[in-house]
Amino acid sequence: MASFTLRLTPSSASSINKPILASFSSHLNPQRASFPFSNNHNSLNLQTLHHHHHHHHHHHHHLFPAIRPFLQQTRATPVTKDLWENLILNSETPVLVEFYANWCGPCKMVHRVMDEIEIEYAGKLKCFKVNTDTDMEIADDYEIKAVPVVLLFKNGEKCDSVIGTMPKEFYVAAIERVLKS
């Protein structure tokens, strides 16, 4: 029998704030199709155990976690090369741009932080995001070699950057510096 193990801390059942849903399409366990786990679990331990060959007709079905996309979308407006100059460089207000990729796990954490920042700084800061897979030109222009990267612009100039997944206060500190400058 193919099976999988999912290790969760006992407390996670009671402390789910925003569950990330991992759906396992499994003929073995159809009733456990979606399994919420708590935010402090950034990784999912999924082991597909040995397949027995004499049941081979049962085992065309592998188990892969499919993270639901609706929790990964930020509210930030996507920006393409055509819009870049108008939206970012000609902006009256300071602008935050998050460079991300769909395959990048840590970017999802940054998306969540950006959602909060966008709400908290509404009117003072505009937030945009750039998908580095589809808009590589912009990423190249700013020498973005890895994601996630957050850049801050004011008066058409890049004035700060936060590289990698940082706690929210790092982004807030950078934004405050830009707003005060």
Res 108 pLDDT > 70: yes
CA distance 112 to 100: 12
Which comes out higher in pLDDT, residue 181 or 18? 181
Q: Looking at residue 85, what is its pLDDT? A: 83
Residue 143 burial (CB count, 10 A): 7
- List the structure tokens of 89: 């460089």
- 36 pLDDT band, cuts 50/70/90, is very low
As a whole number of Å, the end-to-end CA separation of the chain is: 62
**Every domain of the chain and the residues it spans:** 10-70, 72-180
Which residues are identified as catalytic? 104, 107
Res 178 pLDDT > 50: yes
CA distance 118 to 23: 29
127 to 115, 148, 152: CA distances (angstroms): 9, 15, 9
One-letter identity of residue 160? D
What tens digit of pLDDT does each residue of 131-170 get? 999 988 889 999 998 999 999 999 999 999 999 999 999 9
CATH number for the segment(s) 72-180: 3.40.30.10
Q: For 100-127, what is the mean pLDDT?
A: 94
What tens digit of pLDDT does each residue of 78-97 get? 777 778 888 888 899 999 99
User: Which of 29-38, 98-107, 171-180 has the least mean pLDDT?
Assistant: 29-38
What tens digit of pLDDT does each residue of 41-83 get? 333 333 333 344 444 444 444 444 444 334 344 567 777 777 8
- 2 pLDDT band, cuts 50/70/90, is low
CA distance 132 to 121: 25
